[in-house]
């Protein structure tokens, strides 16, 4: 098994000391460093503590030796593409943790900015957290196993207003949805 603590810690912008302090109970930066480098055994207890501090599932901290990690090899800035001094592992939204279940939606026909073959990753929120999704694309369940998808433009009591991404489509209103899934990442083949 390959330890991914360092990759996830850096992706979240934390130092060794910040991660150590975020653990419950707190530990030392040296201990975190030893766990990251394999100088200390990563037990299930340590995985649980570190995963909780990072806000990820414990299994996100390790991967199989046989799995090749997708590498970030360059960054794109104002000056164009630049190579990283050292490639780092790409972290998927499911590995970054966060509140709510991750869902995916496949796009089969062009609609607004979305093209056939696109895949949209969405994070499920409770209706009470809908304010976090205002003016963002969301997927909302409707009665009879159907869904509404589009920009969340309004929330009044138990009603949510969704503006579909296609041109000329009318606003849809969903009453008391069980959840709202907000778009987090678009995956598009080139």
* DSSP per-residue string spanning 2-70: EE-HHHHHHHTT--HHHHHHHSSS---HHHHHHHHHTSS---HHHHHHHHHHHTS-GGGGEE-TTSPPP
d(CA 138, CA 76): 28
Q: Does domain 2-93 have CATH number 3.40.50.150?
A: no
Structure tokens at 37: 């480098």
Cβ pair 74, 84 in contact under 8 A: yes
pLDDT for the residue numbered 34: 93
Indicate whether 117 pLDDT > 60: yes
User: Given the DSSP bridges, would you call strands 2-3 and 62-63 parallel, antiparallel or unpaired?
Assistant: antiparallel
123 backbone dihedrals φ, ψ, rounded to 5°: -110, 125
CATH placement of domain 102-187: 2.10.109.10
130 backbone dihedrals φ, ψ, rounded to 5°: -60, -25
CATH 1.10.260.40 residue ranges in the chain? 2-93
CATH 2.10.109.10 residue ranges in the chain? 102-187
Share of the chain above pLDDT 70, in %: 89
Lowest pLDDT segment from 84-93, 117-126, 155-164:
84-93
């Amino acid at each position: 098994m390959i330890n991914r603590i360092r990759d996830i810690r850096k992706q979240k912008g934390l130092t060794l000391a910040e991660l150590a302090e975020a653990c419950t109970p707190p530990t030392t930066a040296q201990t975190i460093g030893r766990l990251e480098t394999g100088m200390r055994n990563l037990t299930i207890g340590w995985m649980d503590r570190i995963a909780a501090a990072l806000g990820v599932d414990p299994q996100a901290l390790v991967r199989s030796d046989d799995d090749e990690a997708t590498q970030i090899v360059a960054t794109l800035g104002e000056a164009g593409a630049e190579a990283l001094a050292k490639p780092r592992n790409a972290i998927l939204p499911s590995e970054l943790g966060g509140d709510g279940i991750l869902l995916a939606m496949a796009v089969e026909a062009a609609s607004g900015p979305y093209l056939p073959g696109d895949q949209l990753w969405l994070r499920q929120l409770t209706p009470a957290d809908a304010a976090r999704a205002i003016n963002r694309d969301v997927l909302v369940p409707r009665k009879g196993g159907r869904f509404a998808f589009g920009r969340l433009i309004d929330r009044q009591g138990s009603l949510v207003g969704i503006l579909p991404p296609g041109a000329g489509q009318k606003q849809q209103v969903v009453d008391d949805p069980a959840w709202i899934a907000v778009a987090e990442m678009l995956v598009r083949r080139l």
